[in-house]
Amino acid sequence: MAMTLTSVAAISMLTLYQSHLRAYQHGKAQIETQDKLRVALARISHELRSAGYDPSATSGAGVVVAQRDFLYLTRDLVPSTPSALDGADEHLAFCLYRDDTLGIHRGRQGGGSCSGTGRDATDCPGRGYHQPLAEKITRLEFRYFGRNEAGEEEVLPFDGANESLSEPGAIRRIEVVLGAEFSFRGQSRTVERRESVYVRNMGL
């Protein structure tokens, strides 16, 4: 009888230990994925705040292309007369390339000459290259907000099948949504984070 009770107690303790171990491993993988998204969002947010930086007010810097999964902006970091957006890092694009790698494409022209998103996002030697921010990203989505005539914030709708804004200069706030997968015991789990950024140099 005593041996039976001891066996039952041992099995219960082992089951409890295994349950706690699974919970720890799952939590660790989830936190690591969340941290990856947090770091990537912090970097994107920092860069987005510079969109439209134009101390000379002559370069026309701002958001150039605003799509659901692709954003291309310019900023005048090296003011000159006449002002031209041809300095290093004055053109930035954000996209997923190789399908699941989040990257910044930077250069002196054309959004670093990033050609698009997904497998179509290619580097153009001499004009810019992708800088990876995070891998195994399953979702990159930009949501754009402007203000109506009454000064109230409103969602800016996409135009056409390419889901692009016809007037990116109307953007006042951008919400960035990132999603990533992690594997736990052979199953894929998804984590999402989002960040809201006011584009402070536009609309001044």
Mean pLDDT of the chain: 81
- Residue in 187, 102, 95 with CA at minimum distance from that of residue 136: 102
Give the pLDDT of residue 14: 58
Q: How many CB atoms lie within 10 A of CB 55?
A: 13
Taking the CA atoms of residue 47, residue 123, residue 112 and residue 136 in that order, the dihedral angle to the nearest 10 degrees is -10
Structure pTM? 0.79
In whole angstroms, give the CA distance from residue 166 to residue 169. 9
Q: What is the pLDDT of residues 47-57, one digit of tens each?
A: 999 998 888 77
Query: Tell me: the pLDDT tens digits for 28-65?
Result: 778 899 999 999 999 999 999 999 888 877 888 889 99
